[in-house]
Structure 1
């Protein structure tokens, strides 16, 4: 399984702050216990508190100015009016989410509900005492989510740490199990007389032609092979089964993707993309990938390494370049085989309870409302305004209106019951020609993304303090090494990079940590499905 964010450890300062918070919490618990013994009804201790909570969310910069902000917009108002709970949303930048959350936790300013896609990060917060077990809250206060969890027991291993439940989550639909996708300009292929690439070598050859042969016909040397919406090396690493932060089992031995022999080929492919001008030379400064998006939607890149779905990117590209014909493309094969692109584990975002939250009962009530009915409106909008009912589905009324008023709301339903089929994509799209045209492509994009199985050797990664510390120190240094290999010129070869990564592994006592990793795998492997 792969986890989205680089693993980061809570700093020493944060650990101290959390330790102090734990001591204070213990004192508070003693006071509460004494109060209870004096006759206060323990079951009602949250009943008189205001129903107010705060929740983190990723700031992806997608709220149109006329809609407001992530903190204040039509949907935050709607939730406060309909859920019975007043929610303060706390955006954190997507690219530095864990770093920002660590800072908030250390300052005792973290929101009540903290969520991430990365189970390792949630486990780290649990080990540091920043979050609390929630089994008793769900059992005591929940109805809808408790029922949902009983219906989806496959989620429980992802939510459980050291025998206790530390998070809630919901099951991914096929549209969120599929993560990455590749789109290619078929009109450029046709113009240059090129076939759809099937191998990594063919992909590099096509991208090189897109750079050198003026596929947009403007007589200028201004086109690129690739644009992307995340780290571009994550695509060749998936194709080579060597994702940097993914654990693989080779001959029964656990190994981090970045330290496999296959990773040399990932670095070689990324370096070739950079050296041959297939990617924007300034990509490393584009932390939000907005420049990359602009290159794609203005018709300056021939291949988009992104998601299987690209609603707004498609519309903007067609508006800027009406003749563009983007189509989904399968992942290519390498000498190691054909592994497909990233597909996520069954559990979606993991929502944890801050150790210091004031009203966990209100949080559970909000989660119950969200998983019961709130999620539907946040996904589809208001009936008669954003969608209408048909005989066998619901259908968007105006794709452009929904793009502005609804698309940014997709992360508010932190738990949901969305479980679509591929054919639903076309049924639900607005009836205008552009929406229908894209819906058919989008359905094909989902089918294409799921066509080849992504290599996932274990359902979730090991997590313990020594490993967290290792990854926190190793990952930034490894990123520096990768960047030298990719951008540093001929003296920094993939072989040099692989050797430097091994040196860092040894310097940070990787052998001892790996022994613990292997012990974890040997102990748990019989339970992996």
Structure 2
């Protein structure tokens, strides 16, 4: 959910570490021994005794989590500045239109940050306008060994090319979305029902939750299911998508590239969702629900099946929706389930927004790009991951081999209660997958139930993704296509109440709104990236 408020928060804290401390820090920790100081630089482990780097001032602009603030007493900043002999000025905002506008204004004003993030669409435009540096000499296995060892294969970055050049590189991302349906187990028990294992069982549970008074209050005030359409579109939470073979946003089926939101099979999806609405088993306000309003209704005991992430039902997370539900009804029991075991619940993720360097900085001060790359590679290492996700060893966690045991009390008092500032510093590896860097994290607050929930959710099947963030052809605004697409979706669902006319509307948006041209172009990009020919039909 995009936060309503945005923040623009600069932090500048000069820190001049002693030479001895800088050298001591430079020789320890997570980088492999052959990690170089920059493109073509001398590996750190091979530098002459007494050598040091020139101190640089770096300005970065990154995305951050909402409701977070940087602190003056900041051990991450202190570590980075001492380790790499820099004065780092970090500016951050929550992602969204305000962030995008600020980047555009900053670049247009000629005051580009030394390193910044942008959306895929924006980065393509910046590359086309000649504003981005060629990353070839800066981002490679020699200059970023941790990045390539733990997060990306070099061949994957070829798929991220734009405007016939290597102008952008993705920051590490979660390979899976960890989506799951959840059901009120206490309601099932009251109605002598079992956790649904198939689509048909799921629909029958929805009917029972709607018509058989699962909360026992004698009122007809519950629904089987809810979702959030944001007043705009058919939510992917509806199980009819997967039932009809449409999984995720884009799919590869045989030699075909599929845009699920415009696929011909949606006619059946519309018919089945309309039937749900006619039966009355779905929250009647689902289309107008925004953000987490549908989940809030589930917390209030109005909805018995919902789709959310892996944190939804955790006992150890004080703010989990399960705990919020229990604060209203102590007997409430949410459990995960997956009615599409053989089909797959979603596609694997594609790389997200890239990190970028301005061409002006690379031309005038290439050492700033090299130093920034060193720091980013450190953040991608096990040492950097631990620092920016959990804090300091011996204080916020203990380490026994590759097993990390968290000190939750210290994390709360030192980090969460102080602006939750690690949710800014983990901007480069905002991934809750410590196993990617060879670590096992033990949360002492996690219950056996929590572990079972996570094990269940991680067992779900995911199908391969298109593996790239495809960009539309020059001059095509995919937003115009989607806007008209969603208008027709709403018309079929609420005016015509049938998917019969979907083929006719689909033909119009594919031609008049350049959908066919766009997805042909996407298919071409995917084909080039994966070395196999895909076509859009």
State if a TM-score over 0.5 links the two structures: yes
2:223 pairs with 1:224 = yes
Identify the residue that residue 324 of structure 2 maps to in structure 1: 316
In structure 1, the residue corresponding to 2:138 is in which secondary structure?
Answer: helix
Identify the residue that residue 182 of structure 2 maps to in structure 1: 183
CA distance in 2, matches of 1:266, 1:356: 50
Residues 149-198 of structure 1: CA deviation (Å, up to 9, x unaligned)? 7983354234433563333345556xx52432222222212211223333
CA distance in 2, matches of 1:309, 1:506: 42
Do the aligned residues in 2 keep the contact of 1:248 with 1:256 (CA within 8 Å)?
Answer: no
2:455 pairs with 1:444 = yes
More helix by share: 1
CA distance in 1, matches of 2:515, 2:152: 40
Do the aligned residues in 2 keep the contact of 1:210 with 1:224 (CA within 8 Å)?
Answer: yes
How far has the Cα of 1:500 moved from its partner? Answer: 1.9
Identify the residue that residue 444 of structure 2 maps to in structure 1: 430
Identify the residue that residue 261 of structure 2 maps to in structure 1: 258
Do the aligned residues in 1 keep the contact of 2:146 with 2:380 (CA within 8 Å)?
Answer: yes
Do the aligned residues in 2 keep the contact of 1:259 with 1:498 (CA within 8 Å)?
Answer: no
CA distance in 2, matches of 1:426, 1:150: 17
TM-score under structure 1 length normalisation? 0.71
How far has the Cα of 1:141 moved from its partner? Answer: 10
How far has the Cα of 1:507 moved from its partner? Answer: 1.0
Question: Mind listing any 5+ residue stretches in structure 1 that lack a counterpart?
Answer: 6-42, 64-69
CA distance in 1, matches of 2:150, 2:406: 30
CA distance in 2, matches of 1:515, 1:427: 44
CA distance in 2, matches of 1:494, 1:75: 58
Identify the residue that residue 351 of structure 1 maps to in structure 2: 355
CA distance in 2, matches of 1:500, 1:525: 32
CA distance in 2, matches of 1:115, 1:444: 33
CA distance in 2, matches of 1:505, 1:50: 51
CA distance in 2, matches of 1:414, 1:74: 16
2:57 pairs with 1:51 = yes
Identify the residue that residue 138 of structure 1 maps to in structure 2: 139
Identify the residue that residue 505 of structure 2 maps to in structure 1: 500
Do the aligned residues in 1 keep the contact of 2:77 with 2:88 (CA within 8 Å)?
Answer: yes
Do the aligned residues in 2 keep the contact of 1:180 with 1:308 (CA within 8 Å)?
Answer: yes
2:362 pairs with 1:364 = no
Q: When the two structures are aligned, how many residues end up with a matched partner?
A: 456
In structure 2, the residue corresponding to 1:52 is in which secondary structure?
Answer: strand
CA distance in 1, matches of 2:498, 2:296: 31
Do the aligned residues in 2 keep the contact of 1:242 with 1:257 (CA within 8 Å)?
Answer: yes
In structure 2, the residue corresponding to 1:137 is in which secondary structure?
Answer: coil
The correspondence of residues 17-416 of structure 1 with structure 2, limited to 5 A, is: 51-59=57-65, 61=66, 63=67, 70=68, 72-74=69-71, 77-84=74-81, 85-93=87-95, 97=96, 99-108=97-106, 113-115=115-117, 122-123=123-124, 125-138=126-139, 142=143, 145=146, 148=149, 152-161=153-162, 164-169=165-170, 172=173, 176-227=175-226, 233-235=235-237, 236=239, 237-243=241-247, 245-249=249-253, 252-289=255-292, 291-310=293-312, 311=317, 312-332=320-340, 338-345=343-350, 347=351, 350-355=354-359, 359-372=368-381, 373-383=383-393, 386-389=396-399, 393-398=403-408, 402=412, 404-405=416-417, 409-410=422-423, 412-416=425-429
Instruction: Go from structure 1 to structure 2 and tell me whether the alpha carbon gap of 1:354 and 1:362 turns closer, same or farther (over 3 Å shift).
Output: same
2:488 pairs with 1:484 = no
Identify the residue that residue 12 of structure 1 maps to in structure 2: none
Do the aligned residues in 1 keep the contact of 2:264 with 2:506 (CA within 8 Å)?
Answer: no
CA distance in 2, matches of 1:351, 1:408: 20
CA distance in 2, matches of 1:408, 1:314: 25
Do the aligned residues in 1 keep the contact of 2:60 with 2:90 (CA within 8 Å)?
Answer: yes
CA distance in 2, matches of 1:200, 1:150: 35
CA distance in 2, matches of 1:281, 1:83: 52
Do the aligned residues in 1 keep the contact of 2:60 with 2:89 (CA within 8 Å)?
Answer: yes
Question: Mind listing any 5+ residue stretches in structure 2 that lack a counterpart?
Answer: 3-39, 42-52, 82-86
Do the aligned residues in 2 keep the contact of 1:187 with 1:325 (CA within 8 Å)?
Answer: yes
CA distance in 2, matches of 1:297, 1:385: 35
TM-score under structure 2 length normalisation? 0.70
How far has the Cα of 1:474 moved from its partner? Answer: 0.2
Identify the residue that residue 32 of structure 2 maps to in structure 1: none
How far has the Cα of 1:228 moved from its partner? Answer: 5.0
In structure 2, the residue corresponding to 1:414 is in which secondary structure?
Answer: helix
Do the aligned residues in 2 keep the contact of 1:332 with 1:338 (CA within 8 Å)?
Answer: yes
CA distance in 1, matches of 2:185, 2:525: 47
How far has the Cα of 1:329 moved from its partner? Answer: 0.7
Do the aligned residues in 2 keep the contact of 1:145 with 1:368 (CA within 8 Å)?
Answer: yes
